[in-house]
Amino acid sequence: MIIGRRRLAAAMACATLPAGAQGRDGLRAIAARHGITFGAAASTRWLGRDGAYDAALAREAAILVPEGEGKWDSLQPRQGQFTLRELEPILDFAARHAQSVRGHTLGWHTAMPRWVWAALDGAPAARAAALLEAHVAGVLALTRGRIADWDVVNEAIADPDLLPNQDLRDGIWWRSLGEGWIDLAFRTARAADPASRLVINDYGLEADWPRAAEKRARMLRLLRGLLARGVPVQAIGLQAHMPLDQPFAPAPLAHFLREVRSLGLEVLLTELDVIEPAGSPLREEDIPARDAAVAERAHAVVSTALASGCRMVLTWGLADPHSWLNAWAPARRADGAVVRALPLDAAYRRKPFWHALAQAFAGAPLHGR
């Protein structure tokens, strides 16, 4: 191939620049160059109300996931009444910006309206199963063809410190249906929407400490059982909410992901953010060091996942002020300051986290920034 001298010079300049330092491209374009889909959680609390928010989402994300608008209470607020009223603005925004949308989430132990809790209270298994089936089928009948990737089951694994002797969370569906609730959710989803990728999503699987190791073991036992029963689970979503006070090392996560991939399943990072210890210093002069630590953790987990075959990464929001961690009690700053958990700051400026993602997508080591 003949390549003009100017183009060659430009290409060489790009090759020597750290990935992501190439001007105006968002993470969306940078990831795409490496065969990776990058996206973020979107919320109608800001979408369509804040031009800078919309612009950042359009520039940075190739895929959106509704932060709350795809949960049960949004989609079936009253029994039998399925609605995309809250989700539609996100679907519409995505269509206008050539983005795809992930569905989150069909089966979960929370975010259900009061009528579900009342209907499940003391209900026989058959009635609980009918409710779950009706929800999954009713939602997918509306989203089929518009959403091609669904978290069918969210947070089904029990936290080992809370339930040392039981693999599955004692949530409402488990209490009503036992482990079969997971089979039912996936089988119903497959029947209702043959084309969507069906995902099991969970947190607490990434760190290098005994609790995460046990959670990984529980997840693998569950996945092997599901697959042995022919349950149509196709991918695992690692939420990747990364607490800095939990140690991280690539090897245990890489080993787990190898096992998952050997089962024929795909791997996604679905809700990445970095959680600083709530008591860490808040002085202005500490921000560079804090941001560097956050970026380092993000780079480590994303690089490990990508090296293990992951091809889709989403952060749980884009800019710090919108992070759910500002409201979540264990992470919320005591003095009300904004967390620094996400790739962009309050003014939508790129933080070291943003550059860490760009570098990880390029397969590059972390450059200081």
Query: Which of 154, 188, 196, 308 is close enough to bind ligand XIL by CB under 6 A?
Result: 154
β-partners of residue 268 are: 237
Which tokens is 88 given? 């539609």
Q: Which is nearer to ligand XIL, 129 or 222 (CB)?
A: 222
Answer whether 172's CB lies under 8 Å from 119's CB: no
Q: Which is nearer to ligand XIL, 20 or 66 (CB)?
A: 66
Answer whether 338's CB lies under 8 Å from 321's CB: yes
Instruction: List CB contacts of 267: < 8 A, sequence separation 6 or more.
Output: 235, 236, 238, 257, 260, 261, 305, 308, 309, 310
Tell me how far the alpha carbon of residue 148 is from its chain's centroid. Answer: 15
Q: Report the site for ligand XIL in 169-228 (rule: CB under 6 A).
A: none
Q: Is 324 in the site for ligand XIL (CB under 6 A)?
A: yes
Q: How far is the CB of 242 from ligand XIL (least distance, A)?
A: 12
Binding map of ligand XIL across residues 22-61, x = CB under 6 A, - = no contact: ----------------------------------------
Q: Which is nearer to ligand XIL, 241 or 355 (CB)?
A: 241
β-partners of residue 61 are: none
Q: Which is nearer to ligand XIL, 93 or 324 (CB)?
A: 324
Binding map of ligand XIL across residues 231-260, x = CB under 6 A, - = no contact: --------x---------------------
How many residues lie near ligand XIL (CB under 6 A)? 6
Query: Which of 46, 53, 60, 67 is close enough to bind ligand XIL by CB under 6 A?
Result: 67
DSSP string, 15-83: HHSPTT-STT--HHHHHHHTT-EEEEEE-TTTTTT-HHHHHHHHHH-SEEEESSTTSHHHH-SBTTB--
Q: Which is nearer to ligand XIL, 278 or 287 (CB)?
A: 278
Q: How far is the CB of 143 from ligand XIL (least distance, A)?
A: 17
Q: Is the dihedral of CA 195, 196, 197, 198 positive or negative?
A: negative
Q: How far is the CB of 87 from ligand XIL (least distance, A)?
A: 14
Q: How far is the CB of 6 from ligand XIL (least distance, A)?
A: 47
Q: Which is nearer to ligand XIL, 324 or 353 (CB)?
A: 324
Q: Find the DSSP H helices in the chain.
A: 5-16, 27-33, 51-60, 72-75, 88-96, 114-120, 125-143, 172-177, 180-192, 210-228, 250-262, 287-307, 352-361
Q: How far is the CB of 159 from ligand XIL (least distance, A)?
A: 13
Q: How far is the CB of 214 from ligand XIL (least distance, A)?
A: 19
Residue pointed to by tokens 């009706």: 134
Instruction: List CB contacts of 3: < 8 A, sequence separation 6 or more.
Output: 11
* Closest by CA position to 242, among listed 173, 355, 339, 158: 339
Q: Closest CB to ligand XIL belongs to which residue?
A: 324
CA 324, CA 214: separation in Å to the nearest integer? 26
Answer whether 365's CB lies under 8 Å from 359's CB: yes
Q: Which is nearer to ligand XIL, 72 or 324 (CB)?
A: 324
Task: Give the three-class secondary structure for 324.
Answer: helix
Answer whether 214's CB lies under 8 Å from 178's CB: no
Q: Which is nearer to ligand XIL, 30 or 42 (CB)?
A: 42
Q: How far is the CB of 211 from ligand XIL (least distance, A)?
A: 17
Q: How far is the CB of 2 from ligand XIL (least distance, A)?
A: 51
Q: Which is nearer to ligand XIL, 46 or 324 (CB)?
A: 324
Q: How far is the CB of 161 from ligand XIL (least distance, A)?
A: 18
Residues that bind ligand XIL (CB under 6 A): 67-68, 154, 239, 271, 324
